[in-house]
Structure 1
Amino acid sequence: MGVFSATIILASLLTSVISGIFGMAGGLILMGIFTWMLPAASALALHGIIQFASNLWRLLLHRAHVEWRVLLTFGLGSALAMGLFALITWVPTKAFVFLVLGLLPILVWVPERRLSLDALNPWHSVIGGFGSTILSLLSGVSGPLTDLLFVRTAMGRHRIVATKAAMQAIGHASKILVYGTVLLSASSRAVVPMTMVTVAVLASMVGIVIGGRILDRMSDSHFKAARRWIVTSMGVIFLIQAAEILL
């Protein structure tokens, strides 16, 4: 196994552990790694495949905690976003992806007292599904935006993680539909072989299990505080990377 494949697999494992604990933080880090190593469209497609499998596995593990009624309205908003994006032919560049990844952490610092969003509110969920899917298709990650739907919710950490896993799975599935064909070309298969993708998916599933065990031992307050600082630190790194490309 080459260094490239080993790096992809190890990154999938470690970031899935983070995802199993904090939800979107692992996906944000993984998207940054893939964007650094691959062309933007290939990074979006590969990230979509691995994160879809990871979030689907997380959903299955925590299915007892999922708020299924929220997913119906969130899915409606996502479908509307997909319809709109079907009219767009623009593909984001590396610099654009890093820039958006770097700016996304701003959302986790929005004062909660200024927001009254709740995923249990159908209108909030529809709007969240629309915005999250658009952001996912443009930058690969939408977790910080999806998080805003849980600012005023009465859900505990397990219900939040489980419901967000289903929401994120929807967003990652949209990336597979839009960018997935990129990985089917002969040149892409030479760089990103399906065997490596399969092992990376399995590694992500193992990581989710490990992260879930850690989540069980964490308090709600520690969960929210640690997530903010992890995401913010990565955002600074991504902004520096965007600046290096643009300048």
Structure 2
Amino acid sequence: MALALVGLSFVTSLITATFSLGGGMLMLAVLALVFPPAVVVPLHGVIQLGSNAGRAVVQRAHVQWHFVLWITLGGVIGTVIGGQFATLLPETLFQFIIGAFVLLTTWLPQPKVVGRSPLVQFVGGVVIAAIGMVVGAGGPLVAVFSKTIPDRRQLVATHAMLMTLQNTFKVVVFVALGFAFSDYLPLLAGMVAVGFLGTAVGSRLLVKVPESAFRWGFKIVLSLVALDILRDAAF
């Protein structure tokens, strides 16, 4: 099982490096089949931290730092808030809200303020981080904000940096709450290391994918993720 999870880390990192998201939700779904619910979100946070950090380093030249600032500042507050209620709030309700929100914002026209307003980005950062602490599904919500970035390399790099910071906050909070990450250290180290290889391969594929194909692929992957969230909430 450990070897299978390490191999999955390569595949999910490759998918995410190519289309900005999708791999994280696949990883979350598989972890939920292997580990108890109380373990899934903390482990997923570490694995995604390694995957996103590798992608952010490889594509650092394309990160849009002005976009990262406000969402990250909101994320600090949201992580603390979400950490207080991570085991108390109804996960199914949040899953329905996330799935519906992602589908609507993916396919319906949106005002430009969503991508450009610092206030909207700050509030969005609070909400995304708080929900991510409960259900571990912050990536699709971050993608809703970052998809307004016109260049695909900038979009993927900026999303990677945002998720690196979000997952860093998440891991710090779970450490403060007393989660024993050391019990899973060998597995986590292997998954992070192999995930970096997947990121390197996916980053090469990203350059070769035409812009129109990337945008459609991004929407399709995001929609599949949203539908999977709704399916999980329903059953």
Match of 2:164 among 164, 169, 186: 169
Greater displacement, 39-48 / 12-21: 39-48
SS in 1 for 2:112: coil
- Gap runs ≥5 in structure 2: none
Question: Which stretches of structure 1, 4 residues or longer, exceed 6 Å deviation after superposition?
Answer: none
Task: Give how far 1:131 is off.
Answer: 1.9
Deviations 1:218-237 (A, max 9, x none): 12221121122233334444
Q: Which residue identity is paired with 2:163?
A: Q
Contact 1:12/1:200, CA 8 A, preserved across alignment = yes
Task: Give how far 1:85 is off.
Answer: 2.8
Task: Give how far 1:100 is off.
Answer: 6.4
SS in 2 for 1:24: coil
Task: Give how far 1:241 is off.
Answer: 4.0
Q: Which residue identity is paired with 1:44?
A: V
Superposed counterparts of 1:30-109, under 5 Å = 30-88=27-85, 90=87, 103=100, 105-109=102-106
The separation in 2 between residues aligned to 1:95 and 1:82, in whole angstroms, is: 19
Distance 1:238 1:128, change over 3 A: closer
The separation in 1 between residues aligned to 2:54 and 2:191, in whole angstroms, is: 13
Q: Which residue of 2 aligns with 1:18?
A: 15
Contact 1:23/1:161, CA 8 A, preserved across alignment = yes
The separation in 1 between residues aligned to 2:68 and 2:225, in whole angstroms, is: 28
Match of 2:142 among 146, 151, 175: 146
Distance 1:104 1:26, change over 3 A: farther
SS in 2 for 1:115: coil
Q: Which residue of 1 aligns with 2:4?
A: 7
Mapped pair 1:159 → 2:154:
yes
Question: Identity of counterpart residues, as a percentage?
Answer: 22
Q: Which residue of 2 aligns with 1:195?
A: 186
Task: Give how far 1:213 is off.
Answer: 0.6
The separation in 1 between residues aligned to 2:38 and 2:76, in whole angstroms, is: 21
Mapped pair 1:137 → 2:133:
yes
TM-score w.r.t. length of structure 2: 0.86
Q: Which residue of 1 aligns with 2:218?
A: 227
Contact 1:117/1:148, CA 8 A, preserved across alignment = no
TM-score w.r.t. length of structure 1: 0.82
Mapped pair 1:205 → 2:196:
yes
Greater displacement, 160-169 / 114-123: 114-123
Q: Which residue identity is paired with 1:130?
A: V
Q: Which residue identity is paired with 2:80?
A: G
Match of 1:214 among 182, 188, 205: 205
Q: Please give the root-mean-square deviation of Cα atoms over the aligned residues, in Å.
A: 2.6
Task: Give how far 1:207 is off.
Answer: 0.6
The separation in 2 between residues aligned to 1:80 and 1:36, in whole angstroms, is: 31
- Gap runs ≥5 in structure 1: none
Task: Give how far 1:168 is off.
Answer: 0.7
